A and B are shown apart, each in its own frame.
Chain A
Amino acid sequence: MQRIYLDHNATTPPSPAVIEAVAAVLREELGNPSSLHYFGQRAKALLDGARTDVATLLGADPSDIVFTGGGTEGDNIAVRGIAEALEPSGRRHIVASAIEHEAVLNTLKALSRRGWRCTLLSVDESGIVSPDALRDAIGEDTALVSVMHANNEIGTIQPIVELARIARERRAIFHTDAVQTAGKVPIDVKALGVDLLSISAHKFYGPKGVGALWARRGLRLQPAITGGKQERGRRAGTENVAGIVGMGVAAREALAKMAAESSRIGELRDRLETTILARVPGTARNGARDPRVANTTNLSFDRTEAESLLIALDLEGIAVSTGSACSSGTLEPSHVLKAMGLPAHRTQNSIRFSLGAANTDADVDRVIAVLPGIVEKLRSLTRPAVGSRQ
């Protein structure tokens, strides 16, 4: 069966150049970057090269890049590291958006059990955080504000420049989870005005299990993982050299292709979205049309269990998602759509299509050809407990 992958916000396939680079390191480079000898020096040089490539993707200085074990780890190092560093100051309040990834939300839950006060900014149907909401929530004791650059489920891009400015005026640290924008939209950490920014390699055709955290020079950040002096003491443990080299290659490729790819993928996405909305009755887009990352569309199908739709599409060889991929592999109503105030028939019946490098016009044609029939069949056969507006 010809399979069509439309779940690039969950993960992307490593590019051929990435695979080659990772394999070459595994095959040929045995050194530990901390070792002083020849082998160690070679490995260290590879890290430096990758660090420069990743820094270039973010408009950052290479020495401010900390390699991590991925997006979740970067979010944890940032949020926990700031919380621990600022705890003695007595500022024990954190503000985040209600549509953050679990990596941030569950870290905040852990901190609130330790006495931190957390405020979650709700959003309206647009799925975009309002700067006024942040102005209202932020206080003298606010230590950290964390708002994602783009949402993973609906793709909406948040007004980070403005939000970071508000935080700065109130002397709060600002972190953004840029996992869904890195490699998709231009990022310049200085122009954004943030203090911390985390990214993940496997969302832009790099390997899984490696990411990066950019931290503004001079920022006090308690290490979440203690051990050796790797990554300037911010992330102890022998570096994942092959993965990091792969991330560097992915960063270079993403930067080179960004403009062309985002416009090509954006056209595919728009055609997919408008055609489904036009051809399948009882559908709606979730979240604002703009500003949005070019590859993502999130649609609700009335009177159709998203679970069944996902499975039926998968059996046709079309891989989609119902929001964020969950570790148990099961489906919960999306916390993002709930935070947007959408009714149950929208939150429980939503499907995310996230496109990527390998997708073509033919893929979109195929989805458009099979989807309406599947939805019609499910609506005729099933009796969804939730999903009727009648």
Chain B
Amino acid sequence: MSGGVDSSVAAALLAEQGHDVIGLSMQLYDQSGAQSFGSCCTLDDLHDARRVASALGFPHYILNLERQFADTVIANFVNEYVSGRTPLPCAHCNSELKFSTLVERARGLGAQHVATGHYARVEQTPDGRWLLRRSRDLDKDQSYFLFSLTQDQLARAVFPVGSLTKPAVRAEARRLGLRVADKADSQEICFVPDDDYASFVETRAPSVRSGAIVDTRGETLATHAGVHKFTVGQRKGLGVAAPTPLYVLKIDADSGDVMVGPRSALDRSTFTASRVNWISREAPPGWSAATVQIRHRQRAAPGRVRAIDSGRAELEFDTPQPAVTPGQAAVFYDNDIVVGGGWID
């Protein structure tokens, strides 16, 4: 329970249905107030979660997962930026905290399932496999962030708001008399203050690689203070004057080169992904048709996917797509069913 409306309603609906509910909130960073941190899971949010539990009459506890959060999500976040990649911390938080540490803790307390406020659906097939599907609210769908869940994790996951739209969730919150009914949605990346990723990385990385901004022929156009300040597809803040807009095409953390070029050069048809999770069955041999989503809040585009060596997959779009960004997830769907996903190389 983050203290937001989605997880509050998720817990409240289960309690109302007569389930034996235990509310758990994760404290993810130091709340002593000396340092300003993120925008989600603050002390106020944790108190909101507590008040929801208290209003509905089930117990609520705050788990201190600061160390685990720092060791997994934040370490990965910093490391990815330093490596010239663009991290996706919410997906790591799901697979490494919510559906691992939190699930383990919950099992220790005798809980059969762990429910969250995610907009996604879990279903079991007649032959016993667990399917992950998109939310009914496609604007809010979070299945993209959940692609790395295993069958065991899905078997224990419950998403009570996954079949609802956001307005319906807010309406439920009002019906239940929850004071969080009109609370604003949280930021996508909760732990970075003021959206200032660069400073966040700089204070935590041992060193950052500075280098040159180069064009597609390798000519230096300018210098820059660190590869962590760039993401593929970025147009603003390049510090280069050019007659036509330039976009970041490629980041090489070893040399420090950030390659820029015109919008048309961003498009790609084929790419690979690593640590691929085929959610409900073994990877099929050869190519399968799929729609492929390469970032949150972006429509999946038609294409195909096939497994290649050592947990990797090759993906191909029917029509080239802009800004295939290393570090983000490539999640492939069969209609609204998540077939699998991996990390873009």
Contact = CB atoms under 8 A, between A and B. Distances in A.
B46 A315 contact: no
Interface in B66-123: 67-68, 71, 104-105, 107-110
Size bin of chain B's contact surface: 20 to 34
A383 B102 CA distance: 11
A328 interface: yes
Contact of A312 (B43, B62, B63, B109): B109
B90 to A, nearest CB: 22
Contacts of B109: 308, 311-312, 315
B321 interface: no
Contacts of A378: 108
B288 interface: no
Contacts of B68: 385
B64 A307 contact: yes
Interface in A331-384: 331-332, 377-378, 381-383
A22 to B, nearest CB: 25
A314 interface: yes
A328 B62 CA distance: 9
Contacts of A312: 108-110
Contacts of B63: 307
Interface residues of A, number: 19
B134 interface: no
A10 to B, nearest CB: 16
Contact of B104 (A329, A382, A386): A382
A370 to B, nearest CB: 12
Nearest to B32: A328
B51 to A, nearest CB: 12
A274 interface: no
Interface in A291-333: 305, 307-308, 311-312, 314-315, 328-332
Contacts of B61: 307, 311, 314
A332 B50 CA distance: 19
B57 interface: no
A141 to B, nearest CB: 29
Nearest to B68: A385
A312 B61 CA distance: 11
B108 A328 contact: no
Contact of A330 (B22, B64, B110): B64
Contact of B31 (A308, A314, A330, A383): A330
Contacts of A381: 104, 107-108
Nearest to B30: A332
Given A329-B62, A330-B27, A382 B108 contact: yes
A315 B104 contact: no
B108 A308 contact: yes
B218 interface: no
B245 interface: no
B59 A328 contact: no
Contacts of B108: 305, 308, 312, 377-378, 381-382
Contacts of A329: 46, 50, 62
Nearest to B100: A383
7 contacts: A307-B64, A308-B105, A312-B110, A328-B43, A330-B46, A331-B64, A382-B104
Interface of B: 22, 27, 31, 43, 46, 50, 59, 61-64, 67-68, 71, 104-105, 107-110
Interface of A: 305, 307-308, 311-312, 314-315, 328-332, 377-378, 381-383, 385-386
**Which 4 A-B pairs rank lowest in CB-CB distance, beginning with the nearest?**
A378-B108, A330-B62, A381-B108, A381-B107
